[in-house]
Chains A and B, each alone.
Chain A
Amino acid sequence: MTSVVAARRETRPSGHGRPALLFLAPFLVLYLLFIVGPAIYGLVMSFFDTSMVSTGLGEFAGLSNYAEALSSSDFWAALWHTLWFTILTTPPLIVLALVFALLAERASKARWFFRLAFFLPYILPSAVVALIWIWMYTPALGLLSRTMTALGFSEPNWLGDPDLAMVSLALTTVWWTLGFNFVLYLAGLQEIPRDLYEASAIDGAGPWQQIRRITLPLLSRTTSLVVVLQVIASMKVFDQMYIMTQGGPNFATRSLLQYVFDVGFTDFRTGYAAAASTLFFLVVLAVSTAWLVMTRRQEPEL
């Protein structure tokens, strides 16, 4: 360990400090101006009754915004909807991505087609994906509704049933973002040396054993990366709800970020919205820290 650090110190050439800072400067300036600055301003704003229609910070409110958020049933309902969405989307997006990556890896012909087919939905903007699926989910007229009735089932109320709406949104999200995890897994699979598979085949291992004993353990780094990215991205969900259900039916799919949007931009109460989003930041931080701690124990190098 120390030899590596010492080697690093020796090999870093001198005189490259200033040009490095100059190259980093544009990004740092934008980062401070548009991410760090507003985040600090938002934190300050959450202690005031800031309103969007007046200048300045408004009256000092102390912790009353936080108290209101923590006692608001709408806030907790929105948080639960976000967590439920995360639970609905994260396992399929990890398992299915791995399954399809394994299958695509084994395809001997037209491999480029399978990779393209699974990745292509990911490059679509959220509004396009939402519109496609709204049309498919339209009652009585949509593709999915017509297919269900043609097959003899009663038509499920995809976006109008409070219990089913979140599942429909999760289905849309899985179709849309599968490609990203799929590509990460493909890259991870290609890093596994071929001779491990050959050696295990000589020792008599079947394909299922190979997957369980070689592929999955060696993919653990990719998996932990995919999981943490997926959980954070699922918790930040907003577009699907906003475009497809507007948080309905009857607020059943309103995610926390949409709740923040509603109170901040519809009600003009930006101070309270800042408090709600700070609380959400703490929740996301807690979830990612918990996961990182769990995976750190598994990683041998760290």
Chain B
Amino acid sequence: MNNALTRRDLLRATLLGTAALTAAGCSSVGAGLLDTGPDPNTLAYWNLFGGGDGVRMTQMEDGYRKANPNIDLQAVTLAWGNPYYTKLALATVGDRPPEVAVSHLTRMKTLAAGNLLQELHPEDLERHGMSAEKFNQRAWEAGLVDGKIYAIPIDTHPFVLFYNTKICEEAGLLDSAGKLKPIKGQDGFIDALTKAKQVTGQYGATHGINSDTATPWRLFQTLYAQLGGEVLADEGTRVVLDDAKARQVLDYLRLLTVEKGLMPGSIDYQGAIALFASGASGFHLNGEWEISTFQTAKMPFSMTLVPNVFGGDYAVQADSHTLVLPVRPDQDRARLDLSLGFVRSMLDQSLTWAEGGHVPAWQPFAKSARYKKLTPQSNYAAAADSAVYDPPGWYSGSGSNFENVMGGAVGAVESGGMSSDAAIAQIRSKLSHLANTAPPV
């Protein structure tokens, strides 16, 4: 009994061993407990890039680490949407934010209104070679809040048209160079989809509808903006939905899905991708970030701008990813330079980022021959200058309740469950309620 290992001894030893390991653990735990603040050579960076572009971002982070071996880059990837923005907001409110974080341009305004972001001064940006004219003007202007700079845009990610080159060739939709002939007008689009459907035998085009409020909203916003319509005004306090234009768009979408059967009225996001990748559909409407998915599937595809279906000035729904510096209690010149140096490094690696499908906002790269040679990404570069962002408002932005309301109603019309008039009435009532609520920022 005295020599053998008793259970108590084993438990005690395990407990002490675990405690020792934890105590010797990461500096952040120790720093957090002792409240000494993070190491000056540590850079915490949060982003929300999973999937294809997440791989590109990891490559860019490794590029930064190679160029800056003395700096400890702690990159964290969180799930897109609410899980990301709630954590970022709470971390900043609790004085423990990352040095640099990614934010959609449409959400960044709400964060800035909540005083969670540091204002970036032109002289600090100049020190790192970043000045206003080096960025895509549309993205840059859209990101200013009362003329002040709070975010550095790294890309614009528009809604695009994917097409299966083999199916389109059989349907006679490609030109002599093998690129899609430009599609114009409502009838032109219906014609192209009908020809594709004849080849596939199933669908002309697909896009996510079920359990996906973002994609129907993006398609609606693209077509609605081509008609010149707006949804919200005055920072979201007024609903200015044009009923006639909205009805025109909804009726057209219903024509495509319910009446002509050119697009499935009920398919989820992954199902829409699977149908396109397997050749059951000739076209696919989605954000350009899915390029990696189709490249991995090794299918013959290319990408181009969403057609100008309703004539008028060209418009397409898009958002931009920006890098922001959350407000922190221990901000000083050294930490600012560290963060801005990281931002500059991300901009310098725009080639890797563009390979993930995004249209770079950094003009020194976007105007280069290197980018122009990058196909199919450069096919839709013009979308960055015709980008229509979500209307500004505290309840609007990427992954917000505004998109839930709009996308839910549009999806219901596309699945045939709701008439256009009922959908417009629902949109009005829900948005009015939100517009009349006092903003929490």
Contacts and interface: CB of A to CB of B under 8 A. Distances in A.
Interface in A238-257: 244-251
A246 B400 CA distance: 12
A68 B434 CA distance: 12
B287 interface: no
21 contacts: A49-B438, A52-B90, A53-B115, A54-B93, A54-B115, A139-B266, A140-B275, A141-B271, A157-B266, A159-B211, A160-B415, A162-B417, A244-B211, A246-B212, A248-B211, A248-B408, A249-B408, A250-B412, A261-B82, A267-B394, A267-B395
A139 B411 contact: no
Nearest to B397: A266
Query: Which DSSP category, helix, strand, loop or mixed, fits chain A's interface?
Result: loop
A298 B260 CA distance: 61
Nearest to A145: B271
B100 to A, nearest CB: 19
A53 B114 CA distance: 6
Contact of A52 (B93, B270, B399): B93
A67 to B, nearest CB: 13
B268 A53 contact: no
A266 B111 contact: no
Contacts of B111: 53
Interface of B: 82, 86, 89-90, 92-93, 110-111, 114-116, 209-213, 264-268, 270-271, 274-275, 280, 394-395, 399-401, 404, 408-409, 411-412, 415, 417-418, 426, 430, 433-434, 437-438, 440-441
B395 A249 contact: no
Interface in A29-63: 49, 51-55
Nearest to B415: A160
Contacts of A54: 93, 114-115, 440-441
B4 to A, nearest CB: 28
B415 A267 contact: no
A134 interface: yes
Interface of A: 49, 51-55, 68, 72, 74, 134, 138-141, 157, 159-162, 244-251, 261-263, 265-270
Contacts of B275: 140-141
A130 to B, nearest CB: 10
A53 B271 contact: no
Given A160-B415, A265-B86, A246 B440 contact: no
A137 B93 CA distance: 41
Contacts, number: 122
Contact of B401 (A248, A266, A270): A266
Nearest to A61: B438
Given A53-B116, A160-B267, 11 more contacts: A53-B92, A139-B264, A140-B267, A161-B266, A249-B412, A262-B401, A265-B82, A267-B400, A267-B440, A268-B440, A270-B440
B441 A53 contact: yes
- Which 7 residue pairs are nearest across A and B when measured between Cβ atoms? A53-B114, A51-B440, A160-B266, A250-B408, A250-B412, A160-B210, A268-B440
B433 A138 contact: no
A246 B417 contact: no
A249 B89 contact: no
Given A267-B395, A267-B401, A53 B82 contact: no
A249 B426 CA distance: 14
Nearest to B209: A160
Nearest to B280: A140
Contacts of B426: 250
Contact of B268 (A52, A138, A261): A138
B440 A159 contact: no
Nearest to B395: A267
A244 B82 CA distance: 16
From A52, A249, A250, A270, residue with most partner B Cβ within 10 Å: A250
A81 to B, nearest CB: 14
Contacts of B115: 53-54
Contacts of A251: 404, 408
A218 B4 CA distance: 50
Given A52-B90, A262-B404, A157 B271 contact: no
Nearest to A270: B440
Contacts of B408: 248-251
